[in-house]
Each structure stands twice: as structure tokens, then as C-alpha cells.
Amino acid sequence: PILMARCDMMHAMFSGDFRESNAKVVTFPGVKQRTFRVLLQFFYTDTIPTLKVRECLPTVELANRLCLPRLVTLVEVEIIDLFQRILQAGGDISEECLHLLEPMQLHNACQLVEWCLVHLATSYNHVCHKHPKLLRSLHPENQAWLNRHRWPPVWYLKDYDYYERCLMDRHREENPIKPLKRSRNTAGCLCFTSKSRRGSDNNNKQSYRTM
């Protein structure tokens, strides 16, 4: 009775002309025990346990299969809260957002999808440098959305580069590089200066006189 009261799909399964209404065991293909325990806790207490990131997708998938938007919302709140704690601790969740974005779109987790999109857009440069392959693997519509809402935007980067070049040009104009002046010694080789050569010539003359 509790399952039928909490889930319209189960109410139809167990009270209609479906084979589940007379079956002693009802199977849920592809559902793991941990995910089903989350579902049972939701049915009996209207709460969910603390979830890890890898556990949220199977739970949302099952909730969407059973038409349980309330369970989807609880999972979204749990994962967004987890992501915010990771960010406050200085962690990085870009890879998790990229992995979750399109599966969550498929299973109607709209709040989590929007949160992931905003996070990826506001840290677009970091995502481009660290996860370029994952970013390019997104659906073209998602890539277009991120390009439109990225921060900093393209026009800002172009203006900032132009500003930096102007500063460098102005610095060169105000502080021109002075060419180095080299003194040339017309007499003597590279190893001896002219003074040292004249000194050696005088010594030679004195030695001749003494002889």
C-alpha cells in the first residue's frame, strides 16, 4: 500500500491488469541494490541518504523511470550542495559537471543541468584548458550555449589583448632602447690595448739602449 500511495506508476502496476499485480516478485532491470535502497527510503521517509556523485545518476534515472519528480529534486539539491562544499574547499568539479550535464538533461533534472551549465560557463577558460576533449564531446547545442554565455566573453578577451598591446607599445615609446656604443681600438690586437702596446715598445727601446 505504501508503494502504491507514493508512486502513481506502482499504483497502476499493482492495481491494474498488468502482470506485476499478480506477481510475487517484481524485478527492476538495471537497478542496483544501493539505488533501490535510496528509493525505499524516499518512499517511507520522503528523504534520501547522503549520495556520492557517481550515485546520483542511477538514482535520477530510476526516479525519472517511475515518474517521481520529487525524488529527482531531492537528488538535485543533494548534489548541488555537495558541489558547493567541494568548491568552498578549493576543489574542482568541472569534470563531474561535464559528465553529468547531458545524462541529466535526458532524465529531466533541470535544476542540476542549469547549475552545471552556469558553472561551466563561468569557468570556461579553465574547462577549455583542462578538459578540451570532454568539452568538444558535448552536444552542439550545449557547446553553443556555453560559447554564448562564457565568462569572460570573447569580446572581453579581444579588448583585453588589445589593451595589453597598447600598454607595451606605449612603454617602448617612453623607454626606447638605447644602442650600445662600442669603443674601437685602431691599434693593437684584441688581446692588448694601445696603452699596453706603447708600454711594451718603450721597454724594448730601453733594452736596446742598455745594450
3-state secondary structure of 137: coil
**Beta carbons of 197 and 188 less than 8 angstroms apart:** yes
Q: Write the DSSP symbol of residue 107.
A: T
| Residue 73 to residue 63: CA distance in whole angstroms | 10
In this prediction, the residues of the chain whose per-residue pLDDT falls under 50 are 192, 205, 207-211
For position 137, what pLDDT does the model report?
96
For position 210, what pLDDT does the model report?
45
For position 122, what pLDDT does the model report?
95
- Measuring CA to CA, which residue among 204, 200, 175, 180 is closest to residue 189? 200
- Measuring CA to CA, which residue among 115, 54, 130 is closest to residue 84? 115
For position 106, what pLDDT does the model report?
96
Q: Which residue has the cell 568548491?
A: 87
| Residue 193 to residue 188: CA distance in whole angstroms | 6
In this prediction the pTM is 0.74
Q: Which residue has the cell 557517481?
A: 54
For position 211, what pLDDT does the model report?
45
Contact residues for 174 (Cβ-Cβ < 8 A; gap 6+): none
Exposure string for 160-179, b = 16+ CB within 10 A, e = fewer = eeeeeeeeeeeeeeeeeeee
> What does the pLDDT look like over 47-63, one tens digit per residue?
999 999 999 999 999 99
Q: Is the peptide bond before 140 cis (omega within 30 degrees of 0)?
A: no
For position 3, what pLDDT does the model report?
87
